[in-house]
Chains A and B, each alone.
Chain A
Amino acid sequence: SQTIHQWPATLVQPVGSPLSLECTVEGTSNPNLYWYRQAAGRGLQLLFYSVGIGQISSEVPQNLSASRPQDRQFILSSKKLLLSDSGFYLCAWSHRGSGAGANVLTFGAGSRLTVL
């Protein structure tokens, strides 16, 4: 069965410090991968999505970046965090194509980031 792991679960970082959140998927190949952010009491904002190694689509201009160094690994980074980067970050994956599971997202448990 497929599983998705996301870490760290909780992170407290000072303004201006770097960030690295990691997500890995097991039990499937060639997944679509996604990063979403949920600010406190807000909806889910799509940050990045990827169809393959090294292929990243950015949805919102900001000081965050994403990378996909391996097929089932998706990393969210920042060189210098802002206060506004605080939030709940969710990684997700979906099958490709048009089959029964296409576009159905399976989410990780999330990473709660507090920037002070």
Chain B
Amino acid sequence: AQKVTQAQTEISVVEKEDVTLDCVYETRDTTYYLFWYKQPPSGELVFLIRRNSFDEQNEISGRYSWNFQKSTSSFNFTITASQVVDSAVYFCALSLSGSSASKIIFGSGTRLSIRP
């Protein structure tokens, strides 16, 4: 069965600190996608990144970086030099690839608060 665990319910840091959000997943499939989404206070979810299970290269996009490690079934998200605008709930998600209709499941989310 598929499962996504985000053990950190809430994180609070001071602006400009680096912060890492953890995501651990479970699946028996060898082919799958992993995702991160951001939900700002407005409530609408915003897609951040998709990673294919065959691509273990880490990715950096500005202040955001993602560390995918199949050996530990983790897909962690790091924000460098955090800003108040980064305050949001962040969700990790998992789906299978290659099927016409993928079931996409989410973790319980991590609420990130950046204090000025």
Contact = CB atoms under 8 A, between A and B. Distances in A.
22 contacts: A32-B102, A34-B104, A36-B106, A42-B109, A43-B6, A43-B91, A43-B109, A44-B45, A44-B93, A44-B109, A45-B106, A46-B106, A49-B101, A51-B100, A94-B104, A98-B97, A102-B33, A102-B97, A103-B35, A104-B35, A105-B104, A109-B43
A42 B4 CA distance: 14
Given A96-B100, A97-B100, A98-B98, A107 B91 contact: no
A96 B35 CA distance: 16
B101 A88 contact: no
Contact of A103 (B97, B106, B107, B109): B97
A97 B95 CA distance: 13
Interface residues of chain A: helix, strand, loop or mixed (majority): strand
Given A50-B101, A92-B45, A105-B45, 4 more contacts: A46-B104, A51-B101, A107-B45, A109-B44
A96 B104 CA distance: 13
Interface residues on chain A, size class: 20 to 34
A3 interface: no
A46 B105 contact: yes
B107 A43 contact: yes
A103 B100 contact: no
Contacts of B6: 43
B108 interface: yes
B103 interface: yes
**Which one of A90, A96, A107 has the greatest number of beta carbons of chain B within 10 Å?**
A107
B103 A106 contact: no
Contact of A88 (B37, B43, B102, B106): B43
B50 interface: yes
A98 B54 CA distance: 13
Interface string B37-59: 10000011101001000000000
